[in-house]
């Protein structure tokens, strides 16, 4: 219990181990009674995904699988406020509830564990038959434990397995999307190939037509239905964290090369706090670019990405958003493992995604929250090794395939 594979920090690992030991004792009476299995399909289902933007987007296929398996059951989804717009566009969700955990909000304004438990206890009134926690965290597993759901399914790799009726091991060698699908398979043992087929065909997001019209206007295509002759290439220069940040000047070099080689229109995206970084790239590109930094919320960004011919990004939430709307991607990976967090379509990397990284003895280290000291203050070697020419060649290849 003191060797949780998903907790890198030794102190955190021991704290979770001690909490796990206490919970294992406290929950002994409940575990002596076998979990009740429903004789019929669940009528009300609680899904929990409190983490970041990319985490929710990598769970869309699992949510679609739940929807395909249960027919008319009511499905409630609990998410962080940063994901609200996306969550409300997921087909088949009955209720979206916003719950900001203090350990996930970067401004320190989220709720503490006591307040979160009070919120979760109120869920008992809804009479959930089944609850699935798509993230492996002892604290969110505790929320499931007080929800009143008789069947609770989740991962135990970061503690709290004794709080679940079905604790599923997380496979660190598999993609997050495949791991979350395993939770759904555990919930619905008879999940058929026919259900899987319906999931693959179902849309992952439902983008309102009004957002699509506004995206056309932002991209200068007032006619709406017709694509401009010049390819639209989106770039998201911000890596989200310093450890995942590629050189701004290289983004600009790739943009200039694509404009010269394929007459591409460059579309820069970013959040309001990315303004300085986007301006750096914009100045270096020179000439006309479409600057959408700070001008779109997540759902509006999805509508924009849907219209692009290509999107170039690091390991970011917008990268996963591009996957969800089917836009070809050039993804730049450094410390994080693309086998686990890379762009995927229908469970496997497809021809519409080019993943660029370099092999180093230390990479991928997956040390995003607590990077090695030698990698702080500059672009880490695993990203520095990704060259402009590589990115340009991959982008041209995908643009030419799309045109063909």
Chain segment 317-359, per-residue pLDDT in tens: 999 999 999 999 999 999 999 999 999 754 444 448 999 999 9
| 253 and 104 inside one domain | no
SS3 19: helix
238 and 120 in one domain? no
Q: Looking at 201, 219, 250, which one is the last position of a domain?
A: 201
Q: Please give the backbone phi and psi of residue 266, each rounded to the nearest 5 degrees, phi first.
A: -95, 130
Q: Is 102 in the same domain as 236?
A: no
| CATH code for position 341 | 3.40.50.2000
Q: Are 89 and 171 contained in the same domain?
A: yes
Residue 173's alpha-carbon distances to 6, 160, 177, 178, in angstroms, are 12, 21, 12, 10
Report whether 352 contacts 398 (CB < 8 A).
Answer: yes
**Dihedral of alpha carbons 289, 292, 293, 299, sign:** negative
Residue 321 forms part of a structural domain? yes
- Output the pLDDT for position 39: 56
Tens of pLDDT, residues 199-217: 555 678 999 999 999 999 9
d(CA 20, CA 8): 17
- Domain of residue 273 covers 209-403
Predicted model pTM: 0.85
Clarify whether residues 165 and 263 are in a common domain.
no
Here the tokens at position 98 are 């916003």
65 and 124 part of one domain: yes
One domain for residues 301 and 393: yes
Chain-centre distance for alpha carbon 52: 6
pLDDT score of 79 = 97
In a domain, 7, yes or no: no
270 and 188 assigned to the same domain:
no
Question: Which tokens in the block code for residue 385?
Answer: 């090794």
Sign for the pseudo-dihedral over CA of 254, 260, 262, 264: positive
Count of all residues that appear for the chain in the document:
404
129 Cβ contact list (under 8 Å, min separation 6): 38, 42, 43, 44, 45, 149, 150, 151
Give the pLDDT of residue 72: 87
Could you tell me which residues come within 8 angstroms of residue 104 by beta carbon, excluding any fewer than 6 positions away? Answer: 50, 51, 52, 80, 110
Q: Reduced to 3 states, what is the DSSP secondary structure of residue 71?
A: coil
**DSSP string spanning 171-229?**
-TTS-HHHHHHHHHHHH-TT--HHHHHHHHHS-S----HHHHHHHHHHTT-TTSSSPPS
Are residues 269 and 140 part of one domain? no
Residues 130 and 181 in one domain: yes
Scanning the structure block, which residue is given the tokens 């990077």?
371
Q: What is the predicted pLDDT for the residue at 189?
A: 78
What confidence score (pLDDT) does residue 15 get?
54
330 φψ region: left (φ > 0), alpha (ψ -120 to 50), beta (else): beta
- Predicted confidence band of residue 18 (pLDDT cuts 50, 70, 90): low
| Domain assignment of residue 17, yes or no | no
pLDDT band for position 404 (cuts 50, 70, 90) = confident
Last residue of a domain, one of 175, 201, 227: 201
Q: What total of structural domains would you count in the chain?
A: 2
Residue with the two structure tokens 């985490």: 55
Are residues 55 and 185 both part of a single domain?
Answer: yes
pLDDT tens readout for residues 128-182:
999 999 998 889 999 999 999 999 999 988 788 889 999 999 998 899 999 999 9
Name the nearest CA neighbour of 281 among 244, 252, 313, 250: 252
Q: How many CB atoms lie within 10 A of CB 169?
A: 13
Extract the tokens encoding 41: 């399909």
Shared domain check, 191 and 214: no
Domain boundary among 183, 201, 219: 201
| Neighbour-count burial of 190, counting CB atoms closer than 10 A to its CB (0-12 exposed, 13-18 middle, 19+ buried) | exposed
- What integer is the mean pLDDT of 296-316? 96
* Structure confidence at residue 32 (pLDDT): 41
CA 322 – CA 311 distance, rounded (Å): 7
> Does residue 24 sit within a domain?
no
- The model's pLDDT over 228-251, given as tens digits with 9 standing for 90+, comes to 579 999 999 999 999 999 999 999
């Amino acid at each position: 219990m003191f060797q949780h594979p998903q907790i890198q920090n030794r102190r955190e690992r021991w704290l979770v181990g001690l909490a796990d030991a206490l919970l294992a004792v406290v929950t002994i009476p409940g575990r002596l009674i076998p979990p009740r299995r429903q004789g019929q399909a669940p009528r009300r289902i609680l899904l929990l995904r409190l983490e970041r933007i990319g985490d929710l987007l990598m769970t869309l296929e699992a949510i679609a699988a739940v929807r395909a398996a249960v027919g008319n059951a009511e499905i409630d989804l609990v998410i962080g406020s940063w994901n609200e717009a996306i969550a409300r566009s997921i087909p088949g969700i009955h209720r979206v509830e916003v719950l900001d955990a203090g350990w996930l909000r970067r401004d320190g304004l989220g709720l503490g564990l006591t307040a979160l438990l009070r919120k979760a206890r109120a869920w008992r009134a809804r009479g959930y038959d089944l609850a699935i926690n798509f993230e492996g965290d002892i604290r969110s597993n505790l929320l499931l434990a007080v929800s009143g759901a008789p069947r609770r399914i989740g991962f135990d790799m970061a503690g709290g397995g004794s709080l679940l009726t079905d604790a599923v091991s997380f496979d660190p060698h598999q993609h997050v999307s495949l791991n979350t699908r395993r939770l759904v398979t555990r919930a619905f043992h008879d999940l058929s190939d026919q259900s899987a087929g319906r999931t693959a065909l179902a849309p992952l997001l439902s983008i309102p037509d009004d957002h699509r019209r506004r995206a056309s206007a932002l991209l200068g295509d007032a006619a709406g239905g017709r694509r401009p002759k010049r390819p639209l290439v989106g770039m998201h220069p911000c890596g989200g964290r310093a450890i995942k940040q590629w050189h701004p000047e290289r983004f600009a070099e790739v943009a200039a090369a694509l404009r010269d080689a394929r007459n591409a229109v460059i579309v820069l995206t970013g959040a309001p706090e990315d303004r300085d970084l986007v301006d750096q790239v914009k100045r270096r590109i020179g000439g006309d670019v479409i600057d959408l930094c700070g001008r779109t919320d997540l759902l509006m960004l999805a509508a924009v990405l849907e219209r692009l011919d290509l999107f170039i990004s690091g390991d970011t939430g917008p990268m996963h958003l591009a996957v969800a709307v089917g836009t070809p991607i050039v993804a730049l990976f450094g410390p994080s493992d693309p086998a686990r967090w890379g762009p995927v379509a229908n469970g496997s990397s497809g021809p519409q995604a080019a993943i660029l990284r370099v092999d180093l003895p230390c990479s991928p280290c997956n040390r995003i929250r607590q990077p090695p000291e030698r990698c702080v203050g500059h672009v880490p070697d695993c990203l520095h090794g990704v060259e402009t020419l590589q990115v340009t060649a991959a982008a041209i290849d995908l643009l030419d395939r799309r045109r063909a």
